[in-house]
């Protein structure tokens, strides 16, 4: 395996920091070429000093001077602003772009990286939720591979290796159920921020953790899977699996199921994506059936977790509705994280935004931009 030069978009977040752990453990295989962050400039500086990338981008240009003063003497190029993200991913020296940005912000740089023919390690599911048809068409046009990093989609991807001639009957996405899986609707309505952020299995960023608590994350993953693997909505099934050991399954025409198992550790799918098509030795803790004598499964409750129902409905309707839903969810989750609304207000705001938004059956890129902004404005009006 030739050494790969990696650009990490969102290096200060949960996925970004874990990706740097993987790179640090495999210095003969990977090299950091670009690091980017939104506002966490101090951590970005620390990362850059340690990994010595060619360039960094701080999106919030208020912090540019701090980053420049710290890194320019080291010969590290420093850029600022969102346009710099779109430009940096086109660097000829980059072999792979890990898109670990959160939310709609990942769409534009991902498209620009694909147009430059870069391999994408995709950890930004919202890119495909918002504009899946456009993204996959762009990847095909420029012959740029997309390798999923989400544990569920990585599992499906791994199960499909060697199955190119066998059509998929269905996929089954597993969900932990989040911290409120066994709670009543009344208890969920009173849920605190700390309770919602206390995920039983995974260590993730705050936005993704709240999405997991509402099961919106699984709805977003269903839409992502539809586009990644060329599926119809009815081919995507969701099952709650509290132990998070089976990361997802693929069903084939003969009735057989293939599953990928492992302990819940995001470093594993990150390492698989960066190293693909090779499996790189790891010192991670190994799964043992004796530690998990019982693996449980149950149907998701769409009454207690309406966000999943909303997402599946938007997947069916398609057009710009997933984009509208995603924008409203980002606004509502941010409001909840800032303790401006209750936990169950999140789904109410999303539904009100969808009902009051115009449907576009065949949106183009500009339509996605406008739908996103209009939905954000509308959702915000239901909060303030």
Q: Where are the domains of the chain?
A: 4-148, 154-264+291-317
Question: Which among 350, 362, 77 is positioned nearest to 220, based on CA atoms?
Answer: 350
User: For residue range 97-132, what is the model confidence (pLDDT) as tens digits?
Assistant: 999 998 889 999 999 999 999 999 999 999 999 999
Question: Which among 82, 153, 68, 80 is positioned nearest to 111, based on CA atoms?
Answer: 82
Sheet architecture: strand order including 119-122: 77-80, 55-58, 30-37, 4-9, 96-99, 119-122, 146-148
Average pLDDT score, the chain: 96
Secondary-structure breakdown of the chain: helix, strand, coil percentages, each rounded to the nearest 5: 50, 15, 35
User: For residue range 28-76, what is the model confidence (pLDDT) as tens digits?
Assistant: 999 999 999 999 999 999 999 999 999 999 999 999 999 999 999 999 9
Q: Residue 142: pLDDT band by 50, 70, 90 thresholds? A: very high
Calpha distance 234→169 (Å, rounded): 10
What predicted TM-score, i.e. pTM, was given to this entire model?
0.94
Calpha distance 34→241 (Å, rounded): 37
The average pLDDT across 331-353 equals 97
Provide the percentage of residues in the chain whose pLDDT is more than 70.
Answer: 100
Q: Which residue has the tokens 């303790």?
A: 339
Q: Are 98 and 274 in contact (CB under 8 A)?
A: yes
CATH architecture designation of domain 4-148: 3-Layer(aba) Sandwich (3.40)
């Amino acid at each position: 395996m030739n050494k790969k030069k990696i650009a990490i978009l969102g290096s200060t977040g949960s996925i970004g920091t874990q990706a740097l752990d993987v790179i640090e453990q495999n210095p003969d295989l990977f090299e950091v070429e670009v690091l980017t962050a939104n506002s966490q400039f101090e951590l970005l500086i620390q990362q850059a000093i340690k990994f010595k990338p060619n360039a960094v981008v701080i999106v919030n240009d208020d912090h540019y001077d701090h980053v420049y003063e710290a890194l320019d003497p080291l010969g590290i190029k420093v850029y600022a602003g969102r346009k710099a993200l779109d430009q940096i991913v086109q660097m000829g020296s980059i072999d792979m772009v890990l898109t670990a940005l959160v939310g709609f912000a990942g769409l534009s740089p991902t498209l620009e990286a694909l147009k430059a023919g870069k391999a994408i390690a995709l950890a930004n599911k919202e890119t495909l939720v918002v504009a899946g048809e456009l993204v996959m068409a762009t990847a095909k046009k420029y012959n740029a591979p997309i390798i999923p990093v989400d544990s569920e989609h990585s599992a499906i991807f791994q199960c499909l290796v060697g199955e190119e001639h066998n059509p998929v009957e269905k996929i089954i996405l597993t969900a932990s159920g989040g911290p409120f899986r066994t709670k009543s609707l009344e208890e969920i309505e009173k849920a605190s921020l700390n309770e919602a952020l206390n995920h039983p299995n995974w260590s993730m960023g705050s936005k993704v953790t709240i999405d997991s608590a509402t099961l919106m994350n699984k709805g977003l993953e269903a839409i992502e899977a539809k586009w990644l693997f060329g599926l119809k909505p009815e081919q995507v099934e969701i099952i709650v699996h509290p132990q998070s050991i089976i990361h997802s399954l693929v069903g084939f025409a003969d009735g057989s199921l293939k599953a990928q198992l492992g302990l819940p550790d995001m470093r594993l799918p990150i390492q698989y994506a960066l190293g693909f098509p090779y499996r790189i030795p790891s010192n991670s803790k190994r799964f043992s059936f004796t530690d998990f004598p019982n693996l449980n499964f149950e149907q998701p409750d769409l009454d207690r977790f309406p966000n999943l129902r909303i997402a599946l409905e938007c997947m069916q309707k398609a057009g710009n509705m997933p984009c509208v839903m995603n924008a409203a969810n980002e606004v509502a989750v941010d409001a909840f994280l800032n303790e401006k609304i209750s936990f169950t207000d999140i789904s109410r705001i999303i539904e009100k935004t969808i009902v009051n938004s115009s449907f576009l059956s065949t949106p183009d890129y500009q339509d996605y931009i406008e739908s996103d902004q209009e939905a954000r404005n509308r959702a915000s009006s239901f909060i303030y």
